[in-house]
């Protein structure tokens, strides 16, 4: 099967800078290339393309979306493919359809974000030009079906995977080594709350700081470790970062910022925390950080938003917070974990088993290949 993949273009594949969408693309299509011929379009970056006749990467400069797409299509002029997948950019669909009139085109949605930016008539027109839409969660699928009932039969959920070898539990000694390298205090009476993600308002770090301030009344040696930056690869401090630093200082909540961490080191960062908190304030498509933490053997507390509840069963594989804007709600769940160590053991064990059984990249790739065949058969 000859497959063309058009990536968003603002971050490179492979994900040398990071990016959840780019990570998914790399994990999926490097595996699909074992039995299919993949042509992948990504932005220019100083990295060697893989030497693989089944996995061709075409590099195109990215200044803006329009030029990137036009230049991409010029690079593949007169080529033919069995199927085309456009990653998370619905606005690319009309131009690609004009070039590939008779080729099946799939849109892969990793969240609601880019469809929500479009006027409903434009979104409806775009969907009419696709042969199918792959989503990362039942939440995204059901939301799209309700909004666009005329295209309900086009939406297909294919859950993401997680690498359970890269993200795995480690010994207490191993944790101590990682924490020592970061100059973190690692004593039995200290409790590290971990946040991993973009340091932007919608991810809710400010809510977590307020929560920690409430817990400190009973557990004074609470710390927050914030892993990430405002955007993959960026090191510049933003206005929001300055705000959360001032907030933590005012509330006397110690917070340690790692800054940007490259993807090849992110698995180690999960072992900086005694609990992982995802206080997201918006509807996540699925939330790969939750999956990575669960697979790493770290207990997870997350906002009950979007597709997250497809990963976390309350008090079985993690804890969910429905009142996600309320710092008290998070504080209550953090206290609960601190005071119930047996539950922590059960949760972390159940979560890793769930990830290994139901959320593997091999399962993702198998489901995607089956769906490709289904679409191609309909198109014949």
DSSP labels for 197-259? S--SGGG-HHHHHHHHHHHTTT-S-EEEEEE--SSTT--PPPHHHHHHHHHHHHTT--EEEEE
Instruction: Assess whether 225 and 273 both reside in one domain.
Output: yes
Q: Residue 269: inside a domain, yes or no?
A: yes
Instruction: Assess whether 39 and 128 both reside in one domain.
Output: yes
Q: Residue 166: inside a domain, yes or no?
A: no
Instruction: Assess whether 7 and 131 both reside in one domain.
Output: yes
Q: CA–CA separation, 5 vs 270, rounded Å?
A: 31
**pLDDT at site 380:** 74
Domain count, the chain: 2
Instruction: Assess whether 201 and 330 both reside in one domain.
Output: yes
Q: Residue 167: inside a domain, yes or no?
A: no
**pLDDT at site 48:** 72
Q: What's the domain range around 271?
A: 172-358
Instruction: Assess whether 9 and 156 both reside in one domain.
Output: yes
Instruction: Assess whether 64 and 104 both reside in one domain.
Output: yes
**pLDDT at site 185:** 83
Instruction: Assess whether 348 and 273 both reside in one domain.
Output: yes
Instruction: Assess whether 93 and 212 both reside in one domain.
Output: no
Model confidence over 207-261: pLDDT tens digits?
A: 999 999 999 989 999 999 999 999 998 888 999 999 999 999 999 999 999 999 9
Instruction: Assess whether 44 and 156 both reside in one domain.
Output: yes
Nearest one of 74, 65, 13 to 38, comparing CA atoms: 13
Please give the chain's pLDDT, 380 residues, in tens: 999 999 999 999 999 999 999 999 999 999 999 999 999 999 988 777 667 789 999 999 999 999 999 999 999 988 999 999 999 999 999 999 999 999 999 999 999 999 999 999 999 999 999 999 999 999 999 999 999 999 999 999 999 999 999 999 999 999 999 999 999 988 888 999 999 999 999 999 999 999 999 999 899 999 999 999 999 988 889 999 999 999 999 999 999 999 999 999 999 999 999 999 999 999 999 999 999 999 999 999 999 999 999 999 999 999 999 999 999 999 999 999 999 999 999 999 999 999 999 999 999 999 999 999 999 998 87
Q: Residue 182: inside a domain, yes or no?
A: yes
Long-range CB pairs of 345-351 (<8 Å, 24+ gap) are 346/316, 347/299, 347/300, 347/315, 347/316, 347/317, 347/318, 347/319, 348/169, 348/294, 348/297, 348/298, 348/299, 350/316, 350/317, 351/294, 351/295, 351/297, 351/299, 351/300, 351/312, 351/317, 351/318
What's this model's pTM, rounded to 2 decimal places? 0.96
Q: Residue 82: inside a domain, yes or no?
A: yes
Nearest one of 122, 104, 116, 112 to 142, comparing CA atoms: 112
Instruction: Assess whether 41 and 139 both reside in one domain.
Output: yes
**pLDDT at site 50:** 66
Instruction: Assess whether 46 and 69 both reside in one domain.
Output: yes
Looking up residue 232, the CATH number of its domain turns out to be 3.40.50.2000
Q: Residue 91: inside a domain, yes or no?
A: yes
Q: Residue 243: inside a domain, yes or no?
A: yes
Q: Residue 232: inside a domain, yes or no?
A: yes
Name the token pair of 373.
């065949």
Place of tokens 């005329």: 150
Instruction: Assess whether 354 and 373 both reside in one domain.
Output: no
């Amino acid at each position: 099967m000859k497959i063309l993949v058009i990536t968003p273009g603002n971050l490179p594949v492979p994900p040398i800078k990071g990016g959840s969408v780019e990570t998914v693309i790399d994990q999926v299509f490097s595996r699909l290339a074992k039995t299919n011929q993949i042509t992948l379009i990504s932005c220019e970056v100083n990295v060697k393309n893989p030497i693989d006749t089944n996995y061709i990467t075409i590099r195109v400069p990215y200044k803006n979306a329009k030029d990137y797409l036009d230049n991409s299509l010029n690079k593949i002029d007169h080529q033919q493919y069995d199927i085309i997948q456009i990653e998370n950019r619905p606005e690319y669909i009309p131009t690609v359809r004009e070039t590939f009139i008779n080729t099946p085109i799939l849109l892969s949605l990793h969240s609601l974000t880019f469809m929500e930016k479009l006027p409903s008539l434009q979104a409806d027109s775009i969907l009419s030009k696709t042969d199918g839409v792959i989503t990362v969660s039942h939440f995204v699928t059901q939301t799209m079906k309700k909004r666009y009932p005329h295209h309900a039969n086009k939406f297909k959920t294919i859950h993401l995977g997680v690498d359970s070898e890269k993200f795995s539990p480690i010994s207490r000694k191993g944790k101590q080594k990682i924490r020592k390298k970061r100059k973190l205090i690692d004593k039995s009476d200290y409790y590290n709350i971990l946040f991993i993600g973009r340091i932007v308002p919608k991810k809710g770090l400010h809510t977590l700081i307020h929560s920690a301030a409430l817990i400190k009344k009973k557990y004074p040696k609470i710390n927050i470790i914030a892993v990430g930056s405002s955007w993959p690869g960026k090191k510049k401090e933003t206005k929001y970062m300055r705000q959360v630093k001032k907030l933590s200082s005012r509330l006397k909540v110690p917070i340690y910022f790692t800054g940007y961490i490259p993807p090849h080191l992110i698995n180690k960062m999960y072992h900086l925390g005694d609990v992982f908190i995802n206080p997201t304030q918006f509807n996540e498509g699925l939330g790969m950080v939750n999956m990575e933490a669960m697979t790493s053997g770290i207990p997870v507390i997350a906002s009950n938003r979007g597709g997250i509840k497809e990963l976390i069963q309350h008090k079985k594989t993690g804890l969910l917070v429905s009142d996600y804007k309320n710092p008290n709600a998070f504080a209550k769940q953090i206290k609960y974990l601190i005071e119930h160590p047996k539950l922590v053991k059960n949760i972390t064990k159940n979560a890793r088993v769930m990830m290994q059984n139901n959320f593997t990249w091999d399962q993702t790739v198998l489901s995607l290949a089956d769906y490709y065949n289904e679409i191609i058969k309909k198109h014949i």
